[in-house]
Amino acid sequence: MYQYRMDEPRGHRPSWFTVIVVAVIAGLIGSMAGIYAYPKLFPAKNTKIEYTLPQTPEVKTAEYSYTPVVAVAKKVSPAVVGISNIAPGGFFGLGGLEEKSSGSGFIISPDGYIVTNNHVVEGAYELYVSLADGRQMKAKIIGTDPRADLAVIKVNAKNLPVVTLGHSSTLQVGELAIAIGNPLGKEFARSVTVGVISALNRTLTYESGEKSLRLIQTDAAINPGNSGGPLCNAKGEVVGINSAKISIPGFEGMGFAIPIDEAKPIIEQLINKGYVTRPWLGIAGAEISEQEAQYYDIPQGIYIEGVVEGGPADKAGIQAKDIITAINGTKITTMAELTDELFKHKPGEKIKVEVYRLKEGKKYTLEVTLGEKPRE
């Protein structure tokens, strides 16, 4: 039996520190070997990640739900034309022909009748019309009416696209209004602007002092080249003829159009006769305001300053200093109301005029046979 003696030499045993150091070194060596060997044992593919935008499914045109404005533009624009007013230019007109003005118009018949403003074609030596299909054609004036600022011209063509005429009498303030025209000539042909019907029955006073017919007010942008172009409703019907805008610094969104119901009978006369005949009463008058009527204790209406000798009013017994208060039972307080009532009738028709005779303090109802207003 082997016995252990205290004086016998012991074998050398490593310390804990040594063991830990050796383990760490061995781990590092193993890791480095693994890193070196892994790509060789398991080669990686060289991939690049690319970002792509999310794709929106393409929608065919036929499936797209058009807004009213898009539909109106597609329907009406082919019948909208540009009009160039050509006149002699330079000193005393010796500078050759040049474009005096430009505007817009719209085709109302397949054989080439076009409606526009009188001021677009006024003083023209030659007229040229630019169609939506790119053709440029010479046009002739069929008839003009400076009073209403309307004109009809014609090109020699067939099978042209036409507009649909609507009714301005059914318009309501706030409904959609779409203007189409050439605001700066053919470079901006058939521009579409959108707004609403801002007001109805507006009256403007021209530089000559004469008042306009009742107009439609809109905030759809109407610029000089838009004159004569159509103002449309949401159905694509022409309800007005763009005519003017307020050009005062600081004022925007105040354009005006001639109501189509007012324009229709004028257009028909221009096509059929080349001019417009209007009923004529044969008086010169002034409005009596409500305040004046109260102050002087007289009826509100049209004070007759003078009567044309031998005219319709004179023949019916109407006298100077009479006050017209009603026509056919409709109260009259302004010149615009008087004009509206007269224009409901034709020359030769009879109307009943109610007057208040100041010098007698009595009311009379007189029958007047309307005459034809002398042409200027």
In a domain, 42, yes or no: no
In a domain, 356, yes or no: yes
Q: Are residues 147 and 210 in the same domain?
A: no
Work out whether strand 330-331 and strand 322-327 pair parallel, antiparallel, or are unpaired. Answer: antiparallel
Joined tokens for residue 335 = 């010149």
Domain count, the chain: 3
Measured over the CA atoms of residue 257, residue 259, residue 186 and residue 83, the dihedral's sign is negative
Q: H or E segment at 76?
A: helix 68-76
Q: Are residues 171 and 262 in the same domain?
A: yes
Q: Phi-psi bin for 145: left (phi > 0), alpha (psi -120 to 50), beta?
A: beta
Q: For residue 36, what are the contacts with CB-CB under 8 A and spacing of at least 6?
A: none
> 45 vs 35, 42, 231, CA distance in Å?
17, 10, 67
CA–CA separation, 297 and 99 (whole Å): 56
Work out whether strand 176-181 and strand 230-232 pair parallel, antiparallel, or are unpaired. Answer: antiparallel
In a domain, 49, yes or no: no
- Work out the number of other CB atoms within 10 angstroms of the CB of residue 172: 9
In a domain, 234, yes or no: yes
In a domain, 13, yes or no: no
Q: Are residues 87 and 134 in the same domain?
A: yes
In a domain, 200, yes or no: yes
Residues counted in the chain: 376
Q: Are residues 115 and 174 in the same domain?
A: no
Where is the domain boundary, 253, 273, 293?
Answer: 273
Where is the domain boundary, 258, 273, 288?
Answer: 273
Residues forming the active site: 119, 149, 227
The predicted structure's pLDDT at residue 188:
72
Query: Residue 305's domain is classified under what CATH number?
Result: 2.30.42.10
Q: Are residues 298 and 216 in the same domain?
A: no
Query: Residue 217's domain is classified under what CATH number?
Result: 2.40.10.10
Q: Is the pTM of this model over 0.85?
A: no
Domain boundaries, position 224: 164-273
Where is the domain boundary, 215, 248, 273?
Answer: 273
Q: Are residues 131 and 174 in the same domain?
A: no
Q: Note down pLDDT in tens along the chain; length 376 residues.
A: 333 343 444 445 555 555 454 554 555 555 554 545 555 555 555 566 677 777 766 655 555 556 889 999 999 999 999 999 887 765 555 556 777 778 999 999 999 999 999 999 998 889 999 999 999 999 999 999 988 999 999 999 999 999 999 999 999 999 999 999 987 666 677 889 999 999 998 887 665 556 677 899 999 988 877 889 999 999 999 999 998 765 555 556 688 999 999 999 999 999 999 999 989 999 999 999 999 999 999 999 999 999 999 999 999 999 999 999 999 999 999 988 898 899 889 899 999 999 999 999 999 999 999 999 887 6
In a domain, 367, yes or no: yes
CA–CA separation, 101 and 86 (whole Å): 7
In a domain, 368, yes or no: yes
